Amino acid sequence: MSSDVKWPFPRRPGLLWNTASTVTLAAVGGFSKLLMRVLNDAQVYNMAVLTEAVERRHPSQPLITVSNHASCMDDPLMWGEMILPLVLLA
């Protein structure tokens, strides 16, 4: 059984392809960054206890913390945070 699926990307991308690719990447990155800044919410419980544990412990004493989060947007939002500055610098 043979597959007749052709390669969907150009072998030698031209100016239009590169421009569209850059704009798309910047749009996705910008949208992800917007979501991260506007819709992101963090709740911290017992911050005073954590601060005191960090500040008053002996340097040789280990510190173990526990954190939990619920998010289905981790990967896209992190891509936006990391990729958008690279696109803007290019």
The residue with greater pLDDT, 63 or 74, is 63
CA distance 21 to 26: 9
Give the pLDDT confidence of 19-50 residue by residue, as tens digits: 998 888 888 878 877 877 787 777 778 889 88
Between vectors from CA 25 to CA 22 and to CA 27, what angle results, nearest 5°? Answer: 105
Determine which helix (DSSP H) or strand (DSSP E) holds 25, and give its type and residue range: helix 15-38
The residue with greater pLDDT, 88 or 17, is 17
- The pLDDT of residue 76: 67
- Average pLDDT score over residue span 80-88: 66
Kindly indicate the confidence band of residue 16, based on its pLDDT and cuts at 50, 70 and 90. Answer: very high
